[in-house]
Amino acid sequence: MDDEPAPAPSSSSAPAFAPGAEGIGDPYFPKYGNGGYDVAGYDLKVRYDPRTDQLTGTATITATAKQDLSKFNLDLSKLAARNVTVDGVRASSSAAGTELTITPATGIVNGRAFTTVIEYGGEPSQFTNSVLGDGGWLENPDGAVALGQPESASTWFPVNDHPSDKATFKLEMTVPDGVEAISNGVPGPKRTTGGWTTWSWSESSPLASYLAMVVIGQYRVTTTTHDGKPMVLAVDESLPADGPAARSLAKTGEITDFLATKFGPYPFDANGGVAVADRSIGYALETQSRPVYGPAFFSGGPNESVVAHELAHQWFGDSVALEKWQDIWLNEGFATYAEWLWDEHQGVQTVEQSFDSVYNSYAWEQPGQAGNPGAPRIFGQAVYQRGGMTVYALRKTIGDAAFDQLLQRWTSEHKNGNASTDDLIAMAEDISGKQLDALFQSWLFTDGKPAKP
């Protein structure tokens, strides 16, 4: 018999601090975002002078560690960070490319909330996307537009720049008197001093970082209330006051109300839209609670379809965001389908006729699978058109009653979160009681022409 006393229980081991990853690990864009933490909110105070294209700002970022962090990264392009603190204590920082590495004075334990404050500034950057055109911080003679997909936020503030890390967003943008500054969410009070005006905006629902925007310049801004929520519409002053852009944006409330009958309650605390005149912006983008529309969409007259498309994204893409960029068809397919719904509602043609038109004219020999288009083709026709046809094929396969239930349950259960193609398939099978692998395989993950549903 061993008379030795049993050893005392060991105390918990010390944290094994390690750096957070330099990328979030997206299969298409591995260096987008950063690992090791989850952002809860961005609170930005920014000043921009259009005369010099100089931007200065202070970003307050609240986050929670997902591991024992020795240091962590944020995405920041070209702008220089200064005076970084973590929980009020000076932290060191270094920059390489678009990576800003912050080393706090002491490690951050897994599960602990922490606040990082970064003073930064310089001349913001822009980039050119081969499909969409210019993005990032786009300077123009009257001001600037911060806009772009799949990235843009890192060109004007430090950010964890990937949709899987959604966060609330507050902005105080200070610009010269007489210049407008429109952003996401609910408008707050304006204040003017010393020749400068500060515009304030607040988005309380978490957003994916590429959905943050600011539009600075000469705009006619109309603020009303719709369904009890602020409706802010802004049209570049160089565009006609009663022209196609203004008339199209004026339909925002009506289109929102119609889509809510299909998708469930509108998910945000504010609504609206911005029509810009900068022709380098060859796209419209579903920036959360307030889409931005490039001028080309209204060159031939009013265009309610693009408004329906971007407003549908408020449910599909914004409130329910993708987990990885491969699944972008979830955003664009449902938004394309929403255009068909609006056309039917307006008596233009039925959803079935819209599907048939696309099905009969689609270039089926072109490469690109809607469910796995590859990084260079995330804005290709397969994602939009084949994606929209997939939505209709799903409706025809499971029946209207099950499909209507799916739309409402999807937007309700995943509200303010992220979801994947696998999640959609699982929910559709659960509601319909049907095995749907063959349907999604043929429409999303196979080249060539599927049989009509």
Are 335 and 319 contacting, i.e. CB atoms less than 8 angstroms apart?
no
The bridge status of strand 37-49 relative to strand 89-90 is: unpaired
CB 243 within 8 A of CB 299: no
Q: Give the pLDDT score at 69.
A: 98
Burial class (CB in 10 A: 0-12, 13-18, 19+), 192: exposed
Look at residues 171, 155, 84 and name the one whose alpha carbon lies nearest to residue 123: 155
Whether the CB-CB separation of 252 and 272 falls below 8 Å is answered with: yes
pTM: 0.95
For the chain, list the domains and their CATH numbers.
321-444 (1.10.390.10)
Terminal-residue alpha carbon distance, the chain: 78
Tally of CB atoms within 10 A around 440:
22
Per-residue pLDDT tens, the chain, 453 aa: give them. 344 444 444 445 788 999 999 999 999 999 999 999 999 999 999 999 999 999 999 999 999 999 999 999 999 999 999 999 999 999 999 999 999 999 999 999 999 999 999 999 999 988 776 556 678 999 998 899 999 999 999 999 999 999 999 999 999 999 999 999 999 999 999 999 999 999 999 999 999 999 999 999 999 999 999 999 999 999 999 999 999 999 999 999 999 999 999 999 999 999 999 999 999 899 999 999 999 999 999 999 999 999 999 999 999 999 999 999 999 999 999 999 999 999 999 999 999 999 999 999 999 998 889 999 999 999 999 999 999 999 999 999 999 999 999 999 999 999 999 999 999 999 999 999 999 999 999 999 999 999 999
- Report CA Rg, the chain: 24
